[in-house]
Amino acid sequence: MIDSIQVGHEGDPDALTGCTVFLLPRGTVGACEVRGGAPGTRETELLRPKFTARTMDAVLLTGGSAFGLGAADGVMRFLEEQGRGFPTPSGPVPIVSSAVIYDLDMGKSDVRPDADMGYKCCLNATAGERREGNVGVGLGASVGSALGRKMSTKGGFGIFAWGRGDFKLEVAAVANGFGDVVGEDGKIIAGARDGEGNFAGVEDLICSLSKEPNSEGLNTTLVVIATNARLTKEEASRICLQGHNGIARVMRPSHTRYDGDTVFALSTGEVDFPLDAVEVLAAIGTASAIRSGVMKAEAGGGLLSARDILKREVK
């Protein structure tokens, strides 16, 4: 991530669940846009442009469905110990925005990220964290659940980075969507599989099924777009919109009523850079980070990885 942003992962590889924290420098401007029909979030409404809080202290992406939101308590405890937070007469209150993915059916459903795991995430956080795939919140991710989780492909945590001169933009994403993930050529690289293990094509399935798909609110693509460009809260909100455009480029379909698709935009405000360029890069970077997440993921939870499936198709 941006040099001044620390990233930490923690998880349970056996239970296939975990969380990922982004600890932000003081004064970081934040925004958020939720477009999926089944989100699980905490402290995201205050990131809208006209609300009081202009800056934030951390973002947490976590597994465990709504249970996993409790991991943010550990992040708040860590930040309180550092004296971080929105100033109040009784002391600072850390602003920690969180969003969850559903992974309860991937490993052990009674093991979820909690306050202790969130705290450990913060202890692990460094500026040089670059791992992708089956790490942190990506441990229990999968994509293409239209035929049920068992017929989906393993998802994961992915990163995109771009810079020119002093300007930097990075995107982190966890792909856990209802739809398929497609490559730049439009071909499916991860998603729902048919009885023979081949990609079934979620959009075609939806149009041909005579009943509702076998999925209810069990999916979510989460994205964090960070830049050192100076942005207002309103401008950061536009970056979120472009992040959702990036999701739509790569997830087919995206933003369904089964998904909780959520995008955060963060500005550390260190350099000037054209807003239009930041918006374009946000969309490109989101699509690239999602693709990277599924391509770096390893098989787990009884699911094949995208690389496993694509290698078999080549043969």
In this predicted model, what pLDDT tens digit does every residue of 103-136 receive, in sequence order?
999 999 999 999 999 999 999 999 989 999 999 9
- Chain centroid, CA 133 distance in Å: 12
Cα separations (Å) of 142 from 54, 99, 102, 194, 278? 34, 16, 9, 15, 29
pLDDT, tens digit, 9 for 90 and up, residues 279-298: 999 999 999 999 999 999 99
Confidence of residue 313 (pLDDT cuts 50, 70, 90): low
For the chain, the straight-line distance linking the first and the last C-alpha, in angstroms and rounded, comes to 37
Answer whether residue 83 shows pLDDT above 90. yes
32-51: average pLDDT: 90
Q: What does the alpha-carbon distance between residue 39 and residue 83 come to, in Å, rounded to a whole number?
A: 30
Position 210 scores a pLDDT of 61
Confidence of residue 205 (pLDDT cuts 50, 70, 90): confident
Which CATH number does 6-314 carry?
3.60.70.12
Which residues lie across from 68 on neighbouring strands? none
Answer whether residue 218 shows pLDDT above 80. no
Confidence of residue 36 (pLDDT cuts 50, 70, 90): confident
More confident residue, 63 or 46: 63
Answer whether residue 217 shows pLDDT above 60. no
Confidence of residue 50 (pLDDT cuts 50, 70, 90): confident
Query: What mean pLDDT value characterizes the chain?
Result: 93
Answer whether residue 215 shows pLDDT above 70. no
DSSP of the chain? --TT-EEEEEEETTTTEEEEEEE--TT-EEEEEE-SSS--EES-GGGSTTSS--B-SEEEEESSGGGGGGHHHHHHHHHHHTT-SB--TT--B--EEEEE---TTTS-TT----HHHHHHHHHH-BTT----BSSGGGGG-EE--TT-GGGSEE--EEEEEEEETTEEEEEEEEEE-SSEEE-TTS-EEE--B-TTSSB--HHHHHHH-SS--S-SS-BEEEEEEEEEE---HHHHHHHHHHHHHHHHHHEES-S-TTB--EEEEEEEEEE---HHHHHHHHHHHHHHHHHHHHHH---BTTB--HHHHHHHHH-
Whole-prediction pTM value? Answer: 0.95
Cα separations (Å) of 120 from 18, 69, 76, 79, 136? 11, 15, 12, 12, 11
Which residues lie across from 9 on neighbouring strands? 20
Q: What percent of the chain is predicted at pLDDT more than 70?
A: 96
Q: What does the alpha-carbon distance between residue 278 and residue 231 come to, in Å, rounded to a whole number?
A: 10
Q: What percent of the chain is predicted at pLDDT more than 90?
A: 82
Confidence of residue 240 (pLDDT cuts 50, 70, 90): very high
Q: What does the alpha-carbon distance between residue 97 and residue 116 come to, in Å, rounded to a whole number?
A: 17
Per-residue buried b or exposed e for 123-147, using 16+ beta carbons within 10 Å of the residue's own CB: ebbeeebeebbbbbbbbbbbbbbbb
Confidence of residue 266 (pLDDT cuts 50, 70, 90): very high
